[in-house]
Structure 1
Amino acid sequence: MDTFLSLNTFLILVLIISTQSLITADHKIADETMKNGSVIGIVGAILDNSSRAGKEEELAMTMAIEDFHSDYYSSTNQTLILHVINSDGDPMQAALAARDLISKQQVKAILGPQTWEETSLVAKVGSENHVPVLSFAEAAPKWANEIWPFLVQASHDHTNHMKAIAAIVQSWKWFQVNVIYEDRDSSANEFLPQFSFALREVNAKITHLLPLPPCPSSSMLSRELENLKRDQTRVFVVHLSSSQLGVQLFQKAKEMNMMEKDYVWITTDPLTGLVHSFNSSIISSMQGVLGVKRYFPDDSNRFHDFRNKFRKRFDLEHPEEDNNEPGIFAVQAYDAAWTVALAMKENSKVNNGQIFLEKILKSDFRGLSGKVEFNSDQRLPPADIFQIINVAGKSGYIEHGFWSEKSGFSLSLRENGKKSSSMEDLGLVFWPGFPMKTPEGWTPPTASKPLRIAVPGLSMFKEYVNVELNGNSLSFGGFSIDVFEAMLDELPYYLPHEFNLFNDTYDKLVEQIHLKNFDAVVGDVAITSQRYEHAEFTQPYTDLGLVMVVPVQSESSDKTWLFMKPFTKSMWVFIVLVNLYNGFVVWFIERNNFPELNGSILNQMGTLIWLAFSTLFSLQGGKLHSNLSRMTMVVWLFVALVITQIYTANLSSMLTVQRLEPTVTDIETLQSSNSMVGYCRGSYLERYLIEVLEFKHNNIKKFSSPEDYAKALRSREIGAAFLEVPAAKLFLAKYCKGFRMVGPTYKVGGYGYAFPRGSPMLPIINEALLKVYESGKIWELETTMLALEECEEKNEEDDDETKARSLSANSFWVLFIITGTTSTISLVSYLFRVYKSLFKHKTLVWRLMAAVIKYWGDGKKCFSRRISDVEESGTNSLNASDSRTRV
């Protein structure tokens, strides 16, 4: 332990000595300048000069200090001093450099470093000494400012950056991606959640994560890439902050033939922001890569002046670099140095670090990278415009277009420029291997490596899955297999596959996908939430739901009121009303011709009712005296004949056809009677019956075949059987007479095909399955399957569809209208004739009035006789009058 501590102490001393040697020259310059009293302030910078980003940042900050001095202090002897220390990317060395800059150089602010590991240590030192630290790190946790209040994030947030990449993924209908990232600091902790959320918003997901150390060995990199290569997903998102690691990755990928057809590579900032610095050798290994980087305006005069100066000086200071173009790192470093210089200008005589920090946070100016303005979290707002590049050709890359959350994809940033929600509208993209069409994002199975499909061997219904041994090979058939084959015909490519028998429970069958023993499961597999833990399912290819099947029995043997069954109650009411009405009309017209139709009111009412139901059989047409009553009777007899014949036929049918009804109609009856119920097809139905339908565990019983179900239902061993709708259809097709489906349909998943979670094939499979649905093929296959099922209980009598039913008045309304209309016409005609005769002779009117008065005097019993006498006298008078008229 002592040896270990001594070694650590030695390493720290070496770092301190090396740091001291790096800034000795700066100390001398600062001391001389401080003696002259012309120093406005000193700015420190901690960079990794071994990286391209560090080189660009150092030169850009130097130029910013020089430009600021030229603009504001060229006429004075005052100056700003910039102290730059090289950390070589070592966090400990960066922390020691920060202490030295603060304690010896008395800097008012520190710019950099580039990585979060370095930034966290430097921010701690800066906050302890009240010195603002403007970090260039890719992303800082949101809690960082609470721990280190003097930390300022001088690079843009990457939230929208992740959305831009997700938009690209959505444009080409990729649903899964692999992510390769640098596992060196907390930037991955910020990047991965943001990117995962952005992908979920476009219905995509991350299938594999590959974290890489800063300096992986060649063998380790080959091994990890080989694992990714074996997977079907071919979309790779690369998030690396080190350009050296990025170059190593793509060179190895090209060596392993992973930069060929069917592969997709997308790089994020900061790697994309350094593509301009890569030489032709590196570019050749990245052909077809898509890159997304933060956009900064490069068409202003200010940027052109900066660019020209930068290129000249960069060639002089770094002749080893092949490209002298400034990138985003140079631009953001320039703006950060300018921010600090502006704050120093207004607070040159104030040594309070808190006031200086507040002045920095109030910055509001237009820099090379755009508007510089910090939010309440002490960081620049998220970048809103991103540029999409496509690495192609020997010279470098093609600027493919832009993306922003507000406008989507566009070829230019002009107000009237064409905008689109899909990257496809930006034009041709050069993909790795330069294929003629856009990669699918995954590779389907090949003939050498077909899709391994498990088929259940314990299917309850062979009509769905039928596995037979033919010699030394197995043949697979049934409705589930037929639908799957029809679905494969709808795919845009051939999908090699092989079926494998699996004799175990359905739950264990689905688990085999999670264990990667199979690539899919095809059969009558019910979709359940528990099985989703191990696999994903296609949409159901059968009806959804769980139903209750019960036996049927004959209706009650009580036939007391069977004679009333041929007609409904409303029909009987109409028959009575029509008979009474027709009888009244005949009675009213013929009452003067039959003495038995006269008498007291009570006697006439009884006679009227008797006449209504007996006239059809006792009075013949020849006995009637009036043509009006005869017309009424003819129509009445015709309607009565039709109704009587139909009644007889329907009653005969009821007496000969057996009527069946279910023994149970709801689960409440089963539960209250403590009846046993049956189920099958796995544990999920058992859980559903107990937890959802609330059956007791001791009251449920499992069955394994339709024959066992039928036997148990007939013997009343169970009161009902619970089956999924597809199974219930087949069961009732086989036992079509003795059982019935009753009660509601409980919503549970139907049958579906299972695939590994996140399978890239699933969206394409679902699309093909929809096409099979829309073509009517599934309906045709199901109809054929049910038609081939012969009913074991079928006889000459049909079941519910053919049993007799009571007839309502709706079936006879035309007849009722005919007879009613005829009777009404006869009655109105008769009344009109009587009315005319009465008022034609006034004498009859006076006699009628006298009869009424006499009625009230003598009593109601004489009223009918008086009316008859008046009518008879009127008739005689009419006849005499007619005779005189003829004479």
Structure 2
Amino acid sequence: MKYLKQNYHQFSTIFFFFFFVFLLLGVHDHIKVIAQNTADNEKFKVGVVLDGLNGSYGSVWLTSMNIALSDFYASPNTSHNRRLVFHVRDSKEDILEASSAAIDLIKNVEVQAIIGPTTSAEAVYMVHLGNKSQVPIISFSATSPSISLSQNPYFIRTTPRDSSQVNTIAAIIKTFGWRQAVPIYEDTEYGNGVIPYLVDALQNINTRVPYRSVFPSSATDDLIVKELYKLKTMQTRVFILHLDNSALAYRIFAKAKMTGMMSKGYSWILTDGLGDYISSFNSSFIDIMQGVIGVRPYVPKSKELSSLRVRWKKRFSKENPDSERKLDVFGLWAYDTIWALASAVEKLEKLNPEFINGKVDLNSSDVARLGVSQIGPELLREISNIKMEGVSGKFDLVERQLQFNNYEILNVVGSGAREIGIWTPSDGIIKDISLAGTSKTMYHKDNLRPVTWPGDTTIIPKGWEIPTEEKKLRVGIPVKDGFTEFVKITRNSSSDSPYVTGYCIDVFKAAVEMLDYTVLYEFVPYENKEGKAAGSYNELVDQVNLQNFDVVVGDVTITANRSQFVDFTLPYAEGGMQMVVLAKPDASKDTLIFVRPLELKLWLTIAAFFVIIGGVVWILEHRVNREFRGGPHPAYQLFTMLSFSFSVLVFAQKERVLSSFSRVIMGLWLVVVLIITQSYTANLTSMLTIRRLEPTYTDVRELIKYQHTVGYQKGSFVYGKLKEMGFDDANLKVYNSPEEFDELFSLGEGKGGIVASFEELPYIELLTARFCEKYMTVGDIVQNDGLAFVFPKGSPLGPDISRKILSIREDGKNKRIKQAWFGSKTTCPDKNSLGSSSSLKIESFYVLFAITGGVIVFVMSLFSAHFLWQTRKIWLYSNDTVWIKAVNLFKNFFDENTTHLITYFEPPPIMDNAIDAGNEQNNVVDD
């Protein structure tokens, strides 16, 4: 033990020596194995052409590609028979440098595929080289849709096109109800490529693009400031920034902040060209972007993605210690692109690296001498068929284009950006991907998390405002010679500006006053040097489209043709066109006027009651009153009954009633007859006194057939309608005012006048209020949308005015304004009531007839009961058959027998005769 302790250091030295020798031998053997495997693998040359390999974004992507290559060949699920070998070139952000690098790689290195280039502008030239040499050009960063895949069969885009994000941007704009937006972009292949798609998407949601702001790549600060001030003087406050040049974006935002365009009321939206890099921007950049909304492709979270981020950060920091860049989504697509390419190479049947040489000509260019790859078509096919789950999500190429649907919506707040929502094609905007398939509304602000807008406010910008630096809104108004109740211009010698009044003007002022914000405006007559109308109403509306007027206020009718170029508010006056003709006395029905005071039902009811009353009185009187018995024939009895009944009408009945029951009924009936006759007389007098009116013409076809002359108002759309109906210009006359309208009718057709006019309903209201029953409308109303105010297409002010017009119409203010200018219709007699004084209806006499009928039923019930009591010996005590009893009762009813009735009902002077008649009848019964 003591020996071992003394020689401990010697033993340790010997042990570590042999351990080190064995370790070196093992490493050497391992290196030999690796070298042998590499030698055994078939090499597949891949060119890599990227910008910014000096620690910039190119280095970010190259690190991802190298990690992807290591991960692929380290995976137990992949073959190791072939191995990708990168040949990297830095294109130095130069198009010619990128093309030269591609030529060198294809011609000299004979690569079988090229990863890159970085930008769309570089890709435009490089894809031609790929087409010629059949070498697939695979780009994960050239996003411009201007590069056609159909025209470039060897171009593969493993990144979404820029156009795939436009629906997300449109959804954001629609969610917040913005009606205008201005795109700001760089004048490059990347910048210009997406704009047509963006404009189409905005037009699909009725959002107008009034202006496009284009910056050259070399834009100076002075140019940026000048353009921003120009934007500031416009109404639009929604800007869509589409750039991939972060340096230019920084300067634009810095100058926007300086000019006050990053304050309350403004909204900025970034496309994914900048949205992808927000996490890489420094603090000063983030500080001037506060409140900006951005979009970028949504990448689902996964363990593989988390692992890649950790390994990438470690490796990138080691390779680029001075760079602070972060892994972006393009780095993820670069990673997936290498996996897809490596997988496709493993599926090739045979790896043939040979090229068929191009033309050998000393005078030919390098492009002409490019060879043609033998495995290009097969490689292209295998790559296109690759489907896998990558770190960026589902990797699926459709027609050589990566399909990517979901987008993340970001809001720059504080020190970075936070997710406020996600857009999917099926759900629209949702707060979280877990809510996919549950959204009921695709465009609602509640589907987003709270947004902080520029100016550190949570109040949603309305998207536009009247700039304080701009002059007042120019409100064009028509110059009218007549119908000044709609628009009236008064000249004031002491002032250059005209004084404008009228129904249309008051409605517009009322709507503007109800707005939640201040709108300054000035009325500008549409006139020539002589102060007359400068053109027709169609030309006046065109002035809005030509931007000579901001608004047109007046009696402008909404038409389909006009609405193609401008926007109309909701109508403030009802629409429609109708024919107006003279009203003349109606004598066609005077021959039967005596029957019209009472309606037919009432006539029939009165006649029925006359017969009923006659019959009831006859029943009550014929046994006790010889005046009601008439002759022996039944016809005499009927005649007596009817003559008595109808003679009551003129109080000329000669028969005297004796029964108290009869007297009750007759007294009530005389009152009813008196009321009916007085009502009849009064209504007949009214009909004879008041003049009846009817139209002079009723059929438009008659006017056209016989070429009658008709009129229309100057400048009205009615002229076009009349031409469509078939009227000739020779048969059309124009008028400017209600006075001319009346004069043309007064002249008549023979003296250069008209027989009819076609006019819009608002003007008809004015004419009928002024001329009362002189004119009347006939025929069906030709519908249109009415009178409205005119705004430019997509104007954000138009919808607000429309909502206020709706409020004005609902609360009755519009009606009050109209009455103030047109006058109330109650001041004119109603032509309809003049033309047909209404007949008295049976409903007016229901109570009288009901009382009369009730009394009749009551009296007849008492009479029947008394009669049966008197004749009880016949039907109660007799042993005769039922038939004989009935016959005896019938004979007793018709025979004169007043013994009991007269004693009970009549006074003493007539009693003796009644008793004699009764005794005589009783003797007959006793027998």
Instruction: Give the TM-score normalised by the residue count of structure 2.
Output: 0.80
> Which of 153, 158, 169 matches 1:154?
158
Matches within 5 A, 1:20-169: 36=39, 38-49=41-52, 52-71=56-75, 79-90=83-94, 94-139=98-143, 144-158=148-162, 161-169=165-173
Q: Do residues 718 (structure 1) and 749 (structure 2) align? A: no
Residue of structure 2 equivalent to 1:330: 331
1:507 aligned residue (538, 552, 561): 538
For the residue of structure 1 that corresponds to 2:184, the secondary structure is strand
Report SS of the residue matched to 1:722: strand
Give the match for residue 662 of structure 1: 695
1:384 maps to what in 2?
Answer: 406
Selected match of 1:739 from 765, 771, 775: 775
Alpha-carbon distance in 2 for matches of 1:492, 1:50 = 55
Residues 796-842 of structure 1, C-alpha deviations (whole Å, 9 max, x = no match):
x7754467322122222322233334344445554555555556237
CA deviations 1:408-447 (Å, max 9, x no partner) are: 5555545699989545675554433445743332221438
Q: Distance in 1 between matches of 2:258 and 2:609?
A: 99
Supply the AA of the counterpart residue of 1:330.
G
Task: Tell whether 2:701 aligns with 1:698.
Answer: no
Check whether the contact 1:160–1:384 (CA below 8 A) recurs between aligned residues: no
1:388-403 matched pairs, under 5 angstroms = 388-390=410-412, 392-393=413-414, 395-403=415-423
Counterpart of 1:545 in structure 2 is 576
- Return the alpha-carbon distance in structure 1 between the equivalents of residues 65 and 223 of structure 2: 38
Deviations along 1:254-286, one digit per CA (max 9) or x if unpaired, are 455443443322110122212333334544543
Structure 1 position 270 matched with structure 2 position 306: no
Give the aligned residue type for 1:306.
L
The residue identity in structure 1 corresponding to 2:631 is N
Q: How does 1:153-192 map to 2 (within 5 A)?
A: 153-158=157-162, 161-185=165-189, 188-189=192-193, 191-192=194-195
Residues 159, 586 of structure 1: alpha-carbon distance in 2 compared, 3 angstrom cutoff: farther
CA distance in 2, matches of 1:403, 1:231: 30
Structure 1 window deviating more from structure 2 (231-240 vs 744-753): it is: 744-753
Name the SS of the counterpart of 1:540 in structure 2.
Answer: coil
Q: By how many angstroms is 1:743 displaced?
A: 2.6
Change over 3 Å in CA distance of 1:684–1:620 after alignment to 2: closer
Q: Deviations over 1:638-688 (max 9, x none)?
A: 111111111111112222222222223343343344322211141521101
Equivalent of 2:424, from 396, 400, 404?
Answer: 404
Residue identity opposite 2:516 in structure 1: P
Q: Deviations over 1:231-251 (max 9, x none)?
A: 211211012233344345434
Query: Which residue identity does 1:55 align to in structure 2?
Result: S
Counting aligned pairs with the same residue, the percent is: 32
Verify the 8 A CA contact 1:294 1:386 in the aligned structure 2.
yes
Does the aligned pair in 2 maintain the 1:487–1:765 contact within 8 Å?
yes
Deviation at 1:478, TM superposition (A): 1.9
Answer whether contact 2:486 2:554 (CA < 8 A) is retained.
yes
Residues 1:362 and 2:398 are matched in the alignment:
no
CA separation of 1:569 and 1:402: change in aligned 2, threshold 3 A: closer
Q: How big is the alpha-carbon RMSD for the aligned residues of Structure 1 and Structure 2?
A: 4.1
- Match 2:396 to one of 370, 373, 383: 373
Distance 1:617 1:762, change over 3 A: closer
Residue 510 of structure 2 aligns to a residue in which SS?
helix
Q: 1:230 to 1:428 in 2, by over 3 A?
A: same
Paired with 1:873 and 1:582, the residues of 2 have a C-alpha distance of 25
TM alignment of 1:536-685, pairs within 5 A:
536-556=567-587, 559-592=590-623, 593-594=626-627, 597-617=630-650, 623-685=656-718
Q: Distance in 1 between matches of 2:68 and 2:220?
A: 39
Pick from 228, 238, 245 the counterpart of residue 242 of structure 1: 245
Query: CA offsets per residue over residues 754-804 of structure 1, 9 Å max, x none?
Result: 22222222222223333333333212222333337997xx6xx77544673
Residue 279 (structure 1) aligned with residue 276 (structure 2): no
Matched, 1:841 2:877: no
Which residue among 822, 828, 835 is the counterpart of 1:786?
822
Q: Is the 8 A contact 1:162 1:198 kept in 2?
A: yes
Alpha-carbon contact 1:545-1:750 (below 8 Å) kept:
yes
8 Å CA contact retained: 2:191, 2:242: no
TM-aligned CA deviation for residue 709 of structure 1: 0.8
Question: Residue 451 of structure 1 contacts residue 519 of structure 1 at CA under 8 Å; is this kept in 2?
Answer: yes
Equivalent residue letter for 2:525: L
Deviation at 1:738, TM superposition (A): 0.9
The answer to whether the 8 Å contact 2:411/2:451 transfers is: no
How many residues of Structure 1 are paired with residues of Structure 2 in the alignment? 834
Distance in 2 separating the partners of 1:738 and 1:819: 46
Match of 1:465 in 2: 487
Aligned-partner residue type, residue 697 of structure 2? V
Q: Which residue of 2 aligns with 1:488?
A: 512
How far did 1:866 drift?
10
Q: Does structure 2 retain, via aligned residues, the 8 Å contact 1:269–1:293? A: yes
| Structure 2 contact 119–190 (Cα < 8 Å) conserved | no
Secondary structure (helix, strand or coil) at the match of 1:841 reads: helix
Bigger mean CA offset, 608-617 vs 842-851? 842-851
Give the 3 Å change call, closer, same or farther, for CA 683–137 of structure 1 in structure 2.
farther
- Quick one: structure 1 residues 631 and 143, their matched pair in 2 at CA, closer, same or farther if it must change by over 3 Å? farther
* Separation (CA, whole Å) in 2 of partners of 1:657 and 1:562: 12
Q: Per the alignment, in what secondary structure is the counterpart of residue 638 of structure 1? A: helix
Q: How does 1:444-463 map to 2 (within 5 A)?
A: 444-446=466-468, 449-458=471-480, 460-463=482-485
Alignment deviations for residues 331-385 of structure 1 (CA, whole Å, 9 cap, x no partner): 111110111112223437444444433332332332221122223x232222313
Return the alpha-carbon distance in structure 2 between the equivalents of residues 637 and 428 of structure 1. Answer: 85
- Given that 2:698 and 2:778 are in contact with CA atoms closer than 8 Å, whether structure 1 keeps it comes out as yes
- 8 A Cα contact 2:79 2:346, kept in partner: no
The alignment partner of 2:209 has SS state of strand
Q: What's the offset of the Cα at 1:178?
A: 0.3
What is the match of residue 820 of structure 1? 853
Contact 1:108–1:353 (CA under 8 A) maintained in structure 2: yes
Q: Deviations over 1:724-750 (max 9, x none)?
A: 222111111111121123332221232
Distance 2:186 2:36 in 1: 43
Moved more, 402-411 or 666-675: 402-411
> How far apart, in 1, do the equivalents of 2:205 and 2:632 lie?
94
The change in CA–CA distance for 1:537 and 1:76 in structure 2 (over 3 A counts) is closer
Judged with a 3 Å threshold, the aligned counterparts in structure 2 of structure 1 residues 401 and 533 are, in CA distance, closer, same or farther, namely: closer
CA deviation after TM superposition for structure 1 residue 50, in Å: 6.9
- Structure 2 CA distance for aligned equivalents of residues 171 and 111 of structure 1: 39
The letter for the 1-side match of 2:87 is H
Secondary structure, in 3 states, of the residue corresponding to 2:86? strand
One-letter code aligned to 1:582: I
One-letter amino acid matched to 1:340: L
Separation in 2 of the partners of 1:668 and 1:214?
68
One-letter code aligned to 1:356: L
Q: Does residue 302 of structure 1 match 2:334? A: no
1:48-92 Cα shifts (integer Å, max 9, x gaps):
337954332223222222332343699989742012233345555
String of CA shifts for 1:455-495, please: whole Å, max 9, x gaps.
22316322222222344233222222222222122111222
**Distance (whole Å) between structure 2 residues aligned to residue 165 and residue 423 of structure 1:** 14
Residue 807 (structure 2) aligned to one of 764, 771, 774: 771
Deviations 1:509-558 (A, max 9, x none): 32332333322222222222333355322111112222222221111177
Instruction: Find the residue that maps to 1:522 and give its secondary structure.
Output: strand
CA distance in 1, matches of 2:800, 2:884: 100
1:708 CA drift (Å): 1.0
Asked if the contact 1:851/1:866 (under 8 Å) is kept, the reply is: no
Q: Output the amino acid matched with 2:720.
A: R
Bigger shift: 226-235 or 636-645?
226-235
Q: Distance in 1 between matches of 2:263 and 2:786?
A: 41
- TM-score scaled to structure 1, two decimals? 0.83
Identify unmatched segments of 5+ residues in structure 2: 1-34, 353-374, 528-532, 901-914
Residues 417 and 808 (structure 1), Cα distance of their counterparts in 2 relative to 1, 3 Å cut: closer
Q: d(CA) in 2 for partners of 1:649 and 1:849?
A: 54
CA distance in 1, matches of 2:573, 2:174: 30
Secondary structure in 2 aligned to 1:443? coil
